[in-house]
Amino acid sequence: MTFRYTFGGDEFVFVEISEEMSLEAFFKGASITRELKSRDVRGITEICPANASYQVRFNPDIIEPSAVVNLLQELEASLSNAALTIDTRVIEVPVYYNDPWTHETLMRFRERHQDPKSTDLEYAARINGKKDVDDFIAAHSTSPWFVSMVGFVAGLPFMFQMVERSKQLEVPKYLSPRTDTPKLTVAHGGCFTAIYSVRGAGGYQMFGLTPAPIFDPAQRLAYLKEFMVFFRPGDIVKFNPIDRAAYDKTIAEVESGTFSLRIRPTTFVLEDFLRDPDAYNRSLVEEFYAD
């Protein structure tokens, strides 16, 4: 990885860690920004981590721009792969794959799609070499996903699959964006899966819906009481396929205010993961469902 430091106006430093996304690049950025936050440096006002980069805002009347860059370079040099460990959460997210609502939406926009004669799931399965839609859904829901950044619209998580690069699912975005995407659509573009936190335009391939709210300014559910945006960079997501009956049951629980996501704390060690990703993922899932 070759870090590149550039200034944005008088108040920002943008740091590109890598030109392509990887868990190593994400963890470097996450570790640096977490350490920077813990130091509470006078004059640094905002820290914004992203997929393979991060941005820092500072007050030039308090801290010199060169001093900010020197500090960030010091943090970069001090972190090895062995030190890339974070305390985080594993979260089970229910997904109603191949649901009727995203299906109705995607059928309205077939002229914007690479393969107008198939659905988004059928197209994704075919170009990823899966035998059918069910095989693709299994590949999408079996391996955990890292939340690498939250943004674009309020509360939307970008997630990177925790598998070897050769096993990653990749699907291009629509040829031109849709003007409509249902709220809480689970979708995919490039190497990232995302959950649309609100209804709106979008270009990612649509796979299904989750009934679990992830952004709510009213903070009606218990897991949203701390903050209206649920996901944080570093969260680990395990998708759980559900059917229509389970979806309807969960929607009723959401409406009554009794629904809760299944969440467990964990410590993720990048070095252990890189040594054997499949074994690490199995142990992570087994620990999550231990009781």
Q: What is the CATH number of the domain that holds 137?
A: 2.40.100.10
- Give the strand pairing for 236-241 and 85-97: parallel
Q: What are phi and psi for residue 132, nearest 5 degrees?
A: -165, 180
The angle, 0 to 180 degrees and rounded to 10, between the axes of the packed helices 23-39 and 65-78 is 120
Residues 68 and 96 in one domain: no
Average pLDDT by consecutive 10-residue portion of the chain (291 residues)?
A: 90 93 85 91 94 94 96 87 80 98 98 97 98 97 94 93 91 97 98 96 98 96 96 95 98 97 94 92 90 70
Write a three-state SS string for 80-110. CHHHCEEEEEEEEEEEEECCHHHHHHHHCCH
Residue 58, domain CATH: 3.30.1360.40
Residues 92 and 209 in one domain: yes
CA 282 to chain centre: 20
Domain that includes residue 51, residue range? 4-79
Domain count of the fold of the chain: 2
Domain boundary among 48, 79, 110: 79
Q: Which amino acid is it at 146?
A: F
Residues 65 and 161 in one domain: no
Q: Which helix (H) or strand (E) holds 17?
A: none
How much is the pLDDT for 81? 57
Q: Using CA atoms, how far apart are residues 140 and 114, in angstroms rounded to an integer?
A: 21
Domain boundary among 59, 79, 99: 79
Residues 119 and 219 in one domain: yes
CA 192 to chain centre: 7
How much is the pLDDT for 28? 87
Domain boundary among 79, 105, 131: 79
How much is the pLDDT for 25? 87
Contact by Cβ (8 Å): 234, 146: yes
